Amino acid sequence: MAYSSSSSSWPFFFFLLVSSLCMFGMNISTTTAQLSPSFYSSSCPNVLFTIQNAVLTAISNEPRMGASLLRLHFHDCFGCDASILLDDTSSFTGEKTAFPNANSVRGYDIIDTIKAQVEALCPKIVSCADILAVAARDSVAALGGRPWIVQLGRRDAKTASKNDANTNLPPATLSLSGLITSFSNKGFTTKEMVILSGSHSIGQARCTTFRSRIHNETNIDAPFATLRKTSCPTSGNDNNLAPLDATPLLFDNTYYKNLVSKKGLLHSDQELFNGGSTDAQVTAYSNDNPTFLTDFAVAMVKMGNLSPLTVSSLCMFGMNISITSAQLSSTFYATSCPNLLPTIQAAVVNAVSNEARMGASLLRLHFHDCFGCDASILLDDTSSFTGEKTAGPNANSVRGFNVIDTIKTQVEAICPKTVSCADILAVAARDSVAALGGRPWVVQLGRRDAKTASMSDANSNLPAATLGLSGLIASFSTKGFTTKEMVILSGSHSIGQARCTTFRSRIHNETNIDAPFATSLKTSCPTSGNDNNLSPLDATPIIFDNTYYKNLVSKKGLLHSDQELFNSGSTDAQVTTYSNDNPTFLTDFAVAMVKMGNLSPLTGSNGEIRTNCRKLN
């Protein structure tokens, strides 16, 4: 995956890392292999010259190709495994036709040409992933940028995923906080995020990616907006191109100068200079081209080294190698159960279509199963333990078990004894949010199922609706979440309903509540009786959006613990921000859900793969 050149927005280069572990009935080693700039010094000594010559020829024929090759590398990375180059096969639909790439990413023919030349010199030696990485460096250098040393030794992926590309590339509508969070999730600092955004020093973008900005936003230079409107009206001309900065064929700091002048083409670009924490860095680069060029080169080395496939991380057929630590991976079932994700998604969509409330139920079932995400909540009681189903927070409340049973039956029919109930729960939660309007995330897979469950643990570990702000902060902190992440994950109450017993005290006794709102609820939830009567958690209980936060600002939080997030405390500002910015909330929620799903899962030989989610094998 990559950055922008001829279209699309820079955040599109976020793509999930392709797993470097393959489990085909063998033990596989996770010994770390190191990349090296001299990897081909003996096996293919002329590879760098060959690539450089081909890149220079391509740019000489079409200067725009430099930006296209840089973007192709960005859209292939984090992982930098050449998965973006794979055509579709009978076993997978690749990334070329994914939304961020279709009719947008280009330069494949140049890479094909380079690969043919390299194969003529050094057959079956140099990976396509390394060719992409070097071609990106040479493209930047050819257009005036500072070259960097490319670490070599990557291997090429054996699969690709259109679904991953579609669901994991953040949009150009991200705010500054969303950008910071997205980069931080991949190990980049805020400064590195601003640096890598400078790839928009070259290239162009399609009208569809900047139409809303030039027609609706106010933090934009008026003559600049007027100029762009000529070729990008309010409708039509979707594929018309405009340069990302004033010197689209020269790699320099003009991009930052444009931001200071409010001439950023994309919303996400101008967010870097919009009265926020990155204004000073943008100003510094706008006045110092040499420093920008040096910093960009350093950041590109880091990006190219993010979890590449290497010799020891690939599948070694016929070899016995040990695993030092089992890792979750989005492609865990790519070979063992390739139709898993569509099977779960179809079942979830069908369940939500039959009962829209089920989306919230499946999300809540996943929440109540985590921290650990081991499907312990699905276990019926046995003679040796009393499980979680009858715990206080779950009894007569948590539901959706029958939907999970149905999905498990379908999955067992196509991949017997392969997919855990814990993974089904995690994917079903993601698909539920997406079905109701939320932003999907890539679910890391490979969890194993617990062999026991504890009613006591469920009673003591699930935060109560009566908690104050300090209690909520402490409860989430214990599990490794920040206060910001606690506020984000509380947004799961954007969908669903709650029983009268959970909000009776609030509507009858508390004062920080909108009076008409409280009155409207008292009819179905009097001071006694009607314990199981339901009320929506926000005003749009079957749409996953930021209405939950808007309700809190209006003192219409249904639960005490919800309204505590906006009650003159430290989280008021974040609630206000999300109430005004749905896209940022949706992005931040997706990121937080990835973290939650990865908290101490059972992996490797721990636990088991249940064939029936309700009981042990």
User: Would you please indicate which residues are annotated as catalytic (active-site) residues?
Assistant: 368
Q: How far apart are CA 228 and CA 262, in angstroms?
A: 13
152, β-bridge pairs? 36
Checking phi first, is residue 76 left (phi over 0); if not, alpha (psi -120 to 50) or beta? alpha
Q: How many residues does the chain have?
A: 617
The SS3 of residue 131 is: helix
Exposed e or buried b per residue across 281-296, where buried means at least 16 C-beta atoms within 10 angstroms of its C-beta: bbeebbeebeebbebb
Q: How far apart are CA 10 and CA 31, in angstroms?
A: 33
Is 267 marked as a binding-site residue? no
Whether 420 contacts 376, CB under 8 Å:
no
Judging by beta carbons within 10 Å of its beta carbon (0-12, 13-18, 19+), is residue 533 exposed, middle or buried? middle
- Helix 47-61 with 128-142: angle, nearest 10 deg: 50
Tokens of 284: 């510094």
Judging by beta carbons within 10 Å of its beta carbon (0-12, 13-18, 19+), is residue 616 exposed, middle or buried? middle
Is 374 marked as a binding-site residue? yes
Q: How far apart are CA 433 and CA 595, in angstroms?
A: 16
* Amino acid identity for residue 507 in this structure: I
Tokens of 302: 């880091």
Is 540 marked as a binding-site residue? yes
The answer to whether the bond into 224 is cis (omega within 30° of 0) is no
Is 388 marked as a binding-site residue? yes
Exposed e or buried b per residue across 195-220, where buried means at least 16 C-beta atoms within 10 angstroms of its C-beta: bbbbbbbbbbbbbbbbbebbeeeeeb
CA-wise closest residue to 138 among 83, 204, 65, 207: 65
**Token pair 């959970």 in the structure block, residue:** 502
Is 245 marked as a binding-site residue? no
Measured torsion, CA atoms of residues 321, 322, 328, 330, in degrees rounded to the nearest 10? 0
The SS3 of residue 450 is: coil
| H/E element, 487 | helix 483-490
Is 538 marked as a binding-site residue? yes
Whether 301 contacts 199, CB under 8 Å:
no
Is 372 marked as a binding-site residue? yes
**Token pair 């569809």 in the structure block, residue:** 208
Whether 209 contacts 266, CB under 8 Å:
yes
Q: How far apart are CA 435 and CA 444, in angstroms?
A: 19
Whether 83 contacts 18, CB under 8 Å:
yes
Q: How far apart are CA 470 and CA 565, in angstroms?
A: 10
Is 66 marked as a binding-site residue? no
Is 384 marked as a binding-site residue? no
Is 279 marked as a binding-site residue? no
Checking phi first, is residue 555 left (phi over 0); if not, alpha (psi -120 to 50) or beta? left
Whether 43 contacts 119, CB under 8 Å:
no
| Residues in the annotated binding site for Ca(2+) | 369, 372, 374, 376, 388, 538, 540, 545
| Residues in the annotated binding site | 369, 372, 374, 376, 388, 463, 493, 538, 540, 545
| Residues in the annotated binding site for substrate | 463
| Residues in the annotated binding site for heme b | 493
